[in-house]
Structure formats: C-alpha cells, structure tokens
Structure 1
Amino acid sequence: MKALKLLDNAIVKIEEFILSYAVIIIAVMVVGKALSRAIFSYTPPFADEVSQIAIVIATFMGISYAARKGRHISMSAFYDLAPFKLRKALAILISLVTAVILFVLTYYSALYVQNVYQDGTVTSALQMPKYYLYLFIPIGFFLGGVQFLRNMWINIRDREAVYIGTDAKDYNDQDKKDIMEETHL
C-alpha cells in the first residue's frame, strides 16, 4: 500500500509539473508571437505548433488532476438538492460511468495514435512526428479513468462523507465558514 501511495505522489508531482509548464509555454508562445509581430513584423513559424502542443498536453493531462482535486466541470443542480444518501450513490455511479467512458476513449485514442504513427506524418514547422503530440491524449484519458475509479472507491470506503475528488470533499457537506475560508486568497 505504501508503494501505491508513493506512486500516486509521484504522479501528482509529474502532473503538476507538466500542467504548470504547459500553461507557461502557452503564455510565452502567445505573447511572444504577438510581440514579435508588433515589434519586428515577423511571426516565428513554430509558435502556433508549440502552442497547440502545449494546449493538447494541458487539456488531456489535466483530466486526472481535475478529477483528483474535484475541479472538473459538473452539472450539479439536482445533485446539490439531493439528500446525503442519494448524493453518495450518485457520486459512486457518476465516477464509475465516467471512468468507463474514459477507458473507452483511451482505447480509441490509442488506436488513433497508432494510425498517426503508422502514417509517419510530421508537423509542418518543427518536423516533429505528429504522434508525439497525440501520445498525451490516451495517457490523459487513462489517468483520468484511474482517478475516477479512485473517486468511486473513496466514496465506497468512507461512509461519512461524499467526495467529489480523492482530495476534495463535497462542498454540500462543509460548513459555510469552511467554504468561505477556502474561497478567499
């Protein structure tokens, strides 16, 4: 069990590193391209590709991180109004269904990456194999599926609270004071 905890901590650190640097790269490329165009009337040909790669990486690698932290998008109007037991059951069911969907998407995106690899296509500016860009898609879907399974498991194991992420309890179960303290910087 300790080995799994170490692996989980390593994955969190890797996700945080990848996500933070992807966002920094997006900002540098977009601002740099605009400044270069305005000052020198020149746009580096690689700027769009690097930005695209960073956006794909941030998007798909962010699935797992958002699920872990309970920051994923949710339509929770009915969920928020439901009593505790129904919210608990919904948290388990939603996590299971989401994990299954993400694993199916992992399979199909891996097939797509394999097709791109076999085609041997490269990006136009960097001349980098395109499958490098797309490798992050099945990895992100897979890690997201694993994280939603973990969310389901923590909701099954802990009967006292509802978790929207392994690191986040449902805000419906928190006191108003706790919520206010978390929302202020």
Structure 2
Amino acid sequence: MPKSGGDDSPSSYRSDLPGPLGWVDNGIARAEAFLLAAGVLLMAVNTVANVVGRFGFGTSIQATEEVNRILIILITFAGISYAARHGRHIRMTAFFDMMPVKLRKLVMIIIALVTAGFMFALTWYSWGYLQTTLGRGRVLPSLQIPVWWTLVWVPVGFFMTGLQYLLTAIKNMLEKDIYLSTNVLEGYADESEQEI
C-alpha cells in the first residue's frame, strides 16, 4: 500500500510500477539502500579507527580525510535519489494545496518532469566535469588514486535522481491518486499515524 506524507521504510520498499518500470525502480531502491548504508558504516569505521589510532597509538591514519571525502560525495549523491524516492525533498505547498485535485495532479506531473530534466542536465554537466578531471590526471596525495574516481558518484546520483522523478511523473500519469514519488502519496499523515 502506498505511504502518505513521505513515510519511509526502505527495507519494505516495493514499486507499484508495472513491468520493467517496477524492476528498474526496485533495482534503484536496492542500490540506494546499499550505497547509503555502506557509505555511512565505512565512514563511521574509518573515523573511529582514526581516533583510536591518534589517541591510542599516537598516530593518525594518513588517508582518513580523503576516504571520508569520497564517502561524503557518495552519501550526498546517493542521498538525493533516496530523498526523491521517499518524497523527502523540501516542497513549498501553500498554493499547491489550494488547487483542485486535477490541477494538482497536472502540476505534480510537470514538477516531476521539469525536475527530472534538470537532474539529467546536471548529469550531463557533471559528466563533462568528470571528463575534465580525468584529463588533468590528478591523484589524491595519500591514496594515490585518480581524483576522478571520487567524482563518479556525482553523475550517477544525478542520473538516479532524474530517473526517480521521471518514474514519479509516469506513476502520476498512470494512477488516479497524486504521488510525490513512485510509492508515496501526496498529502499529510494522519495524527494517529504519527509516532511521538
């Protein structure tokens, strides 16, 4: 059953989209969950290991800052897709909430398509930036890996977010209800559903 008002439980996410669209949506959901969980866990382990090394053994792990920078990029750009999937992006709804249902549905489709277009444009530009960085041949001082490897997540995150908004537009075209994402209904959770 679709969730209302941005309620999210990633472990139980199942797309309601038909056929291949549902498979794509479910695949993206699994990839997001894995990337976010792995990124946060690796960052925590890396930071704790560095603190233990610094205060317990008097020496820091040399590459801790670089590893955390890579993981922050990963978490940020996987997170924008995750937020789109769960209807968690900031929305200004004062005028939207006053519109009749049919107009709100049309506006939601337009918003999703325009946002998808912007995300795909940002994918294109970030891909160009990635290629420029690749051409410069710079490497990270401690890890000695090419800098462009750290930026791979930027176009991937923008692309996954654009795909999520495109799937949201399609979902709104196929269903009679209004959806913030492929599985989150527009509206606010009832007070009885809210946890204290």
* Interval of TM-score (by shorter of Structure 1 and Structure 2): 0.7 to 0.9
The one-letter code matched in structure 1 to 2:63 is F
Q: Is the 8 A contact 2:130 2:148 kept in 1?
A: yes
Deviations 1:58-84 (CA, angstroms, capped at 9, x unpaired) = 111222222122122323343344442
- What residue in structure 1 maps to residue 42 of structure 2? 25
Normalising by structure 2, we get a TM-score of 0.81
- Any runs of at least 4 consecutive aligned residues in structure 1 with deviations exceeding 6 A, and if so which? none
Deviations 1:160-184 (CA, angstroms, capped at 9, x unpaired) = x110010111124x6x25xx42x43
2:180 to 164, 172, 183: 164
Separation of aligned partners in 1, 2:135 and 2:79: 27
1:110 CA displacement? 0.3
Q: Are 2:195 and 1:184 aligned? A: yes
In structure 2, the CA distance between the partners of 1:4 and 1:37, relative to structure 1 (3 Å rule), is: same
Q: Which moved more, 1:148-157 or 1:73-82?
A: 73-82
Structure with greater helix percent: 1
Normalising by structure 1, we get a TM-score of 0.86
1:130 to 144, 147, 160: 147
- What residue in structure 1 maps to residue 125 of structure 2? 108
Separation of aligned partners in 2, 1:34 and 1:120: 32
Gaps of 5+ in 2: 1-17
**Identical-residue share of aligned pairs (%):** 38
1:30 CA displacement? 2.6
In structure 2, the CA distance between the partners of 1:35 and 1:86, relative to structure 1 (3 Å rule), is: farther
In structure 2, the CA distance between the partners of 1:24 and 1:39, relative to structure 1 (3 Å rule), is: same
Matches within 5 A, 1:27-176: 27-159=44-176, 161-172=177-188, 176=190
Q: Which moved more, 1:25-34 or 1:59-68?
A: 25-34
Q: Which moved more, 1:127-136 or 1:72-81?
A: 72-81
Local SS of the residue matching 1:171 = coil
- What residue in structure 1 maps to residue 33 of structure 2? 16
Q: Is the 8 A contact 2:25 2:164 kept in 1?
A: no
CA RMSD of aligned residues (A): 2.1
The one-letter code matched in structure 1 to 2:91 is S
Separation of aligned partners in 2, 1:35 and 1:77: 50
